[in-house]
Amino acid sequence: MNSVTASIKIGADGIDTEKIVEEIKATVAKKRAAGLYDEARIARAEKHNLVTLKDDETFIQQYFLCLRQISQVDINDFEIFERRGGIFGYFLTKIKKSIWSLLKFYTYRMWSQQNQINSLLLAAIETVNERNQQEIDALKARIKELETKDN
């Protein structure tokens, strides 16, 4: 079997792609600084970037921000539709909506409890982190004080 490899290059005369990329990066940086990207779907995308953060303080702040934004289960209704049209699609949509209304009765309570658990766990983790940071800061100050006494 012969394999044909095609090389495709997309471009146009007079277009500086590097400049365009830099403009996009600058725009994203401005919007991020303004807080426009602080929503849950962005947090989900950003969680993969947490490993790239070098500074421990920046990492923990970004990590808690992501946790706060995605810790809650979405318990809102959603649109139920069927891609297949016609009478079959109509009846299938009705069946799905009926099943969902029955399931919603049982799952709403579980979702609400899960949201409470997630909120409590997040609050506990943030509190422990804050206390640990205060203790670390106090110990650093004490070490610095002891070092200055020795000199």
Distances (CA, A) of 39 to 30, 66, 126, 130: 16, 9, 19, 23
- Residue 43 falls inside a structural domain: no
**Domains in the chain, number:** 2
Does 23 share its domain with 76?
no
CB distance 74 to 58 below 8 Å = no
pLDDT digits (tens, 9 = 90+) for 80-96: 877 888 888 888 889 99
C-alpha–C-alpha distance, residues 111 and 137, integer Å: 38
Does 129 share its domain with 83?
yes
- Residue 98 falls inside a structural domain: yes
Q: What percentage of the chain carries pLDDT values higher than 90?
A: 23
Does 145 share its domain with 90?
yes
The pTM score is: 0.54
Asked if residue 1 has pLDDT above 60, the reply is no
CB distance 80 to 97 below 8 Å = yes
Average pLDDT over residues 48-53: 58
Q: 137 is in which domain, residue-wise?
A: 71-150
Mean pLDDT across the chain, nearest whole number? 79
Average pLDDT over residues 132-151: 91
Q: For the beta carbon of residue 66, count every other beta carbon within 10 angstroms.
A: 20
